[in-house]
Amino acid sequence: MGLEFERGRRLRARGEFDRVFRKGRRLGGRQFVMVALPNGKTEHRLGMTVGRKLGAAVIRNRARRLLRESFRRLEPAAGRGFDLVIVARADIVGRTQSEVDREFRERVRRLNVLAGARRAAASSPD
């Protein structure tokens, strides 16, 4: 994967964000909230919301870069395909890449545990 975040890997339309927010599973954290919805594909797509409450444009853009890089680094560990919306929280300001990676890794791990439990429940005979 190059340095550019490919267009097909992004959530762009408002309807896509709305669908994830409406039907997705929320995984909260200190630095960000991850909302995830299975997309039926083998790859993941990422959307982000970084509000003005975080600070000036430079601060918001840094938060986006940190989150995008965490997604790029840890995305193969996320199992089956998900549409992910990340909502940045104020605690992300001033964090290092390794701190954001650590929280992102924990959210992905919880997501896989929850998805695995859901698949097991669906496949078990009653």
Q: The pTM is what?
A: 0.84
Q: Which CATH number describes the domain made up of 7-115? A: 3.30.230.10
Picking from 78, 77, 80, 88, the residue whose alpha carbon sits closest to that of residue 34 is 88
- Which tens digits make up the pLDDT trace of 53-87? 999 999 999 999 999 999 988 766 556 789 999 99
pLDDT value at residue 77: 58
